[in-house]
Amino acid sequence: MDSRTRVVVTGLGTVTSIGIGREAFWRHLLEGRSGIGPVESFDTSRYQVHLGGEVKAFRAEGFVRRLDPASMGRASQLAIAAARLAVADAGIGLDAIDPVRAGVSIGTTSGEPEWIERFDDMELGGQRDRIGAEFLNRYPCHVLAANVASELGFRGVNLVIPTACAAGNYALAHALDTIRSGEADVMLAGGSDAFSRITYTGFARLGAIAPERCQPFDRRRRGMIPGEGAAVLVLEPLTRALERGARVYAELAGYGLSCDATHMTAPQGDGAVRAMQTAMRDAGLTPDRIDYVSAHGTGTTANDRVETIAVKQAFGAAAAGVPISSIKSMLGHTMGAASAIEAAACALAVWDDHIPPTINLEEADPECDLDYVPGVARAVPVESAMNNAYAFGGNNASVIFRKCRTPAP
Amino acid sequence: MTGVVITGVGAICALGDKPPDIHRALCEARAGFGAGTVFSEQAGSYRAAEVRAFAPRDYLGPRNLRPLDRTGQLAAVAAELALADGGWTPGQREGREIGLVLGTTFCSARTIGEFDRRAMREGPEYASPLDFANTVINAAAGQVAIWHRLRGVNSTISTGGASGLHAVGYAAQLIRAGRETALIAGGAEELCFESYLGFLRAGVLCDPAEGGPAEGPRPFDVRRNGCVLGEGAGFLVLEAEEAAAARGARVIGRIAGFGAAYDSRQAMERADGANALTYAIERALATSATTEIGAVMASASGSPVLDAREATAIREALGARRRRVPVTTIKGHLGEAQGASGALQTIMMLASLQSRRLPPIGGLQQPDAHFDLDFVTGAPRPLEAACGLVTSLAREGNCCALVVAGPTG
């Protein structure tokens, strides 16, 4: 293996508010279905806002089989479900993998927040004595990858990359280099976050949560809507995928990571431009050869305006012609899972030659004047797709997928 | 492939803020344990290797420290010390895109817990927007990037107790892959009430009871019965060999090899059986140009199961060579500093190679005969070697190993 090793996506597992499993997810994404509804995970009566993107249909018991579902938090359960779906989708027999050559790289924002929320409830309720071993055993975020690997029997490199709302892309970037370095034959890379009271409280306090709808790039947009979910992508070298006759969704062609190093929460744009430029250089693609951009597109006034400026700077003259959409309009912002779910959407866009829409985008914003694929999905050839994600901490990550053209055997 | 050189180190822990001084204290068998103060108002007396009288302004100057919590401050201080040691002036930091990879288990469970408890106690409208920015697990990495203007790759790695070493290994991989030419890599962890209570209730600490008398940890000893918590931060400046030469940097060591693997949570409950750390060590040695390691800096902290698993892995991986390779650990003096530990271990291995002395294991009186390794006890051991092995094992099963060479390696 070396730095030129081609790495491809051969399996997709998605657990989202609009569908569990690749087919339902993709069908509903192209239909423009919304997964937003009243929050049920906790009582929002003291909040000014009440909507969220929860995966209400999720039942852990169908996926968490070797481990006890009750022994872990919801983000681990979601991650395990996405991992099992991805491995099944890839058609990889677990006994056909050398366990120490199979790794797991998972991104997250909050890890397993329910366990620190329970800690806090007991502490506030004068019940400190009831705080037990479960806090240490279930709360620290690295348990997400640990639980996935323990469930599947993977013994290769295993880590969580908690780079907040760009974490899924960071996990993909790590996995790409890990395969190229020769450290692993197969990597499960993705992201997972469970609906979190702490996250909801913070965004509500910032006034960043939309009261009715998430409307990325719309002139009347009023914010993001917190969500939850997970996605895992199966990555392996192209040669290995061809040998086993695997279905190849897309090639993971390159990435760019950067840091604004200016402000913890306010996007600056220059770091986003550098991440996009680095990713295009890494993939060997010029802006005019990018056929789709999956936007970070949270629906906040600042993000969508700054992201639009950044795309214009990074793409130059090609910016006006490239379709850009935000599936957060349908799913809300699933935090550390978001860029993993969006990466799955990019891989599917490249594979299926369809672009999912930005729903709820009705009134153009003069400051957001690019092609955001409003309302309706689009059937167009998609040779390559860029997935953008930006996070607290000033972390920026762009990942590029392209159609896998292989030489005739 | 690009060589990865070490051009600076910075550390802050209970035994000081200068690696040669910390190393001397370890060689003189001085322990950093004492009555903790950072959360004594909340939880009464406890014993820990705390960074006492921590004065971040002494290192960071008069700028506003309020946005940084304790983890962020410890990390920013260690980063400043590492950059200064590496000869990076503020002007040079502006001129180059320096990256950051930070290992941590919790980042700040205190910030997250206090943010949530305040909102639950007073109402969500009283949540602190400033603290919300620090509830993400990459907050310390973001704050350090802002403080030191680090605009390159900004990643956070969570693998529990192995986080710090894993971060160094990942940073080396980023340089080898040509992603960056200069990165600071290491880890940070603060002592706080939340994580302390977690470790206590999980039965991991050697204190016999809350507030009771404590004897201190005994790594690799037959009577070992748990760890004492520590805290701190450590960073290494890693650079591509050519880039370091081009700026005339002083080279104090190099990262020669790295390997990571994972054992399931089920396997981690037993001292015997399959051992992924064996594979990680073999991988680190196989990827290293030199396999003539002269010492092992283990992560053993006094845990009955983890110390046994680590000893087994070192014995299996080194085979007959173990007779010539002494094994030590810093946690008998510095405690379990979680995400910071692996970075501190690496920095102390480097100091040992430089000073040609290997510090003894604190608290080790009667080595467990089953381990059959040459432990350093009582007094420091002369060390005539160019390379050392650093190992790290987390209780959730994550493990990694790093081959580090000194200035002559």
CATH classification of the domain holding A328:
3.40.47.10
Tell me the residue type at B187: G
Q: Closest Cα of chain A to B60: distance in Å?
A: 16
Mean pLDDT of A288-306: 98
**Residues of A with Cβ-Cβ distance to B67 under 8 angstroms:** 264
CA pair distance A308, A313, nearest whole angstrom: 9
* CATH number of the domain where residue B89 is located: 3.40.47.10
pLDDT confidence of residue B1: 67
A227 CB-near residues (< 8 Å, 6+ apart): A17, A35, A36, A52, A53, A54, A195, A328, A331, A332, A333, A334, A335, A338
The count of structural domains within chain B is 2
Cα–Cα distance for residue pair B24/B18, rounded to 1 Å = 10
pLDDT in tens, A122-167: 999 999 999 999 999 999 999 999 999 999 999 999 999 999 999 9
In a domain, A310, yes or no: yes
The residue in chain B having the minimum alpha-carbon distance to the alpha carbon of residue A4 is B177
Contact status of B262 with chain A (Cβ, < 8 Å):
yes
Same domain, B63 and B200: yes
Instruction: Return residues 154-193 of B near A (CB < 8 Å).
Output: 154-160, 163, 166, 170, 173-174, 176-179
Q: What positions of A carry a catalytic annotation?
A: 165, 296, 333
Could you tell me the residue range of the domain that residue A320 belongs to?
254-402
The pLDDT assigned to B209 comes to 52
Q: What is the largest distance, in Å, between two alpha-carbon atoms of chain A? A: 69
Say if residue B210's pLDDT is above 70.
Answer: no
Is A116 close to B116, i.e. CB distance below 8 A?
A: yes
Based on the fold, state whether residues B214 and B113 are members of the same structural domain. Answer: yes
Instruction: Say if the Cβ atoms of A158 and B113 lie within 8 Å.
Output: no
My answer on whether A279 and A353 are in the same domain is yes
Mean pLDDT over residues B357-380, rounded?
97
**Please, which residues 363-402 of chain A have a Cβ atom closer than 8 Å to chain B?**
391-395
Kindly state whether residues A45 and A136 are assigned to the same domain: yes
Residues of A in contact with B135 (CB under 8 A): 110, 198-199, 202
Tell me the one-letter amino acid at A223: G
- Is residue B377 less than 8 Å (CB to CB) from chain A? no
| B184 in the same domain as B291 | no
B327 part of contact set with chain A, CB < 8 Å: no
DSSP category for residue B379: S
Residue A319 located in a structural domain: yes
Mutation site for B-interface testing, chosen from A80, A159, A165, A179 by largest number of B Cβ within 10 Å: A159
Could you give the number of structural domains in chain A? Answer: 2
Beta-bridged to residue B260, according to DSSP, are B400
> Could you tell me which chain A residue has the CA closest to the CA of B121?
A124
Residues A291 and A397 in one domain: yes
A408 domain residue, yes or no: no
Q: Kindly state the tokens that stand for B355.
A: 């000073």
| Shared-domain flag, residues B122 and B55 | yes
pLDDT greater than 80 at residue A38: yes
Measured between CA atoms, how close is A385 to chain B, in angstroms? 21
What percentage of chain A has pLDDT greater than the value 90? 96
Q: Residues B178, B302: one domain? A: no
ipTM: 0.97
Residues B9 and B96 in one domain: yes
For residues A174 and A304, membership in a common domain is answered with no
Contact indicator for A113, A261 with CB cutoff of 8 Å: no
pLDDT attached to residue B213: 52
- Are A345 and A201 found together in one domain? no
Q: Report the percent of chain B where pLDDT is more than 70.
A: 98
pLDDT at res. A407: 64
Amino acid residing at A147: N
Check whether residue A305 and residue A341 sit in a common domain: yes
Name the closest residue on chain A to residue B198, using Cα atoms: A136
Residue ranges of A 130-159 with Cβ closer than 8 A to chain B: 131-133, 135-137, 139-143, 145-147, 149-150, 153-159
Please answer yes or no on whether A258 and B142 come within 8 Å at the CB atom: no
Question: Is B107 found in the same domain as B57?
Answer: yes
Model pLDDT for residues A317-336, shown as the tens digit of each residue: 999 999 999 999 999 999 99
Mind listing the pLDDT tens digit for each residue in B352-368? Answer: 999 999 999 999 999 99
Asked if residue A407 is part of any domain, the answer here is no
pLDDT recorded at residue B408 = 78
**pLDDT greater than 90 at residue B207:** no
* Chain B residues closer than 8 Å to A123 by CB: 113, 117
Written as one letter, the residue type at B142 is: G
- Strands A324-325 vs A354-355: parallel, antiparallel or unpaired: unpaired
Q: What is the pLDDT of residue B208?
A: 54
pLDDT the model gives residue B43: 86
Examine the domain organization and report whether B354 and B323 are in the same domain.
yes
HSE on the CB side for A348, CA within 13 Å? 28
> CB within 8 A of A283, min separation 6: which ones?
A253, A254, A384, A400, A402
Residue A196 lies in a domain: yes
Taking contacts as CB-CB distances below 8 angstroms, the residues of chain B near A116 are 109, 112-113, 116, 194
Residues on chain B touching A204 (C-beta within 8 angstroms): 124, 127
**Residue A147: closest CA among chain B residues belongs to which residue?**
B265
pLDDT in tens, B13-71: 999 999 999 999 999 999 999 999 999 999 888 899 999 999 999 999 999 999 999 99
Q: Distance between CA A352 and CA B335 in Å, rounded?
A: 54
Q: For chain A, percent helix, then strand, then coil, each to nearest 5?
A: 40, 20, 40
What are the helix (H) ranges across B137-231? 139-148, 163-176, 193-201
Q: Are residues A328 and A288 in the same domain?
A: yes
Residue A194 resides in a domain: yes
In a domain, A38, yes or no: yes
In this prediction, residue B290 has a pLDDT band, given cuts at 50, 70 and 90, of confident
List the single residue in B109, B141, B149 with the smallest CB-CB distance to A116: B109
The answer on B234 and B171 residing in a single domain is yes
Judge whether residue A98 has pLDDT over 90: yes
Question: Which residues 160-179 in chain A show a CB within 8 A of chain B?
Answer: 160-164, 170, 174, 177-178
Are residues A188 and A74 part of one domain? yes
Among the three residues A183, A211, A243, which one is the final residue of a domain in this structure? A243
Interface test with A, best of B146, B158, B168, B179 (most A CBs within 10 A): B158
Q: Among B198, B259, B398, whose Cβ lies nearest the Cβ of A136?
A: B198
Cβ contacts (< 8 Å) between B158 and chain A: which residues? 111, 140-142, 159-162
Residue B214 has pLDDT above 80, yes or no: no
Residue A311: what pLDDT?
98
Residues B34 and B176 grouped into a single domain: yes
Mean pLDDT of A104-111: 98
Q: To the nearest whole angstrom, how far is the Cα of A408 from the nearest Cα of chain B?
A: 29
Instruction: From B196, B226, B252, give the residue that closes a domain.
Output: B252
Q: Do A258 and B97 touch (CB under 8 A)?
A: yes
* Same domain? B346 vs B368: yes
Q: Which residues contact B68 (CB under 8 A, 6 or more apart)?
A: B56, B76, B134, B143, B147
Instruction: At B227, list the tokens.
Output: 């760890």
Residue of chain A whose Cα is closest to the Cα of B265: A150
Give contacts of A 173-232 with B, CB under 8 A. Answer: 174, 177-178, 180-181, 183, 197-199, 201-202, 204-206
> How many interface pairs between A and B have CB atoms less than 8 angstroms apart?
251
Under 8 Å between Cβ of B352 and B380: no
- By the CB < 8 Å criterion, does A281 face chain B? no
Q: Does B197 touch chain A (CB under 8 A)?
A: yes
Token pair, residue A334, equals: 């699933």
Mean pLDDT of B182-206: 97
What phi and psi values does residue B229 have, to the nearest 5 degrees?
A: -80, 150
Instruction: Tell which of A243, A263, A281 closes a domain.
Output: A243
Same domain, A269 and A134: no
- Report the side by side order of strands in the sheet with B99-103: B154-157, B99-103, B182-189, B232-240, B4-13, B253-262, B398-405, B387-393, B293-298, B327-329
B265 touches chain A (CB under 8 A): yes
Q: Choose among B99, B132, B148: nearest Cβ to A205.
A: B132
Q: What pLDDT does residue A409 have?
A: 47
Which amino acid would we find at residue A184? Answer: A
Domain boundaries, position B270: 254-405
Residues A110, B136: C-beta atoms closer than 8 Å: yes
Q: Measure the CA–CA gap between A18 and A24, rounded to whole angstroms.
A: 8
In this complex, is the C-beta atom of A94 within 8 Å of any C-beta atom belonging to chain B?
Answer: no
B138 has pLDDT over 90:
yes
Taking CA–CA distances from B275, the nearest residue in chain A reads A155
Q: Can you read off the two tokens belonging to residue A15? A: 């657990």
* Residue A306 counted as domain residue: yes
Which H/E stretch holds residue A234? Answer: strand A229-237
Give chain A positions within 8 Å (CB) of B134: 264
**B156 vs A contacts (CB less than 8 Å):** 161-163
Query: Residue B297 — pLDDT band, cuts 50, 70, 90?
Result: very high
Q: What is the pLDDT of residue A44?
A: 97
pLDDT at A406 over 80: no
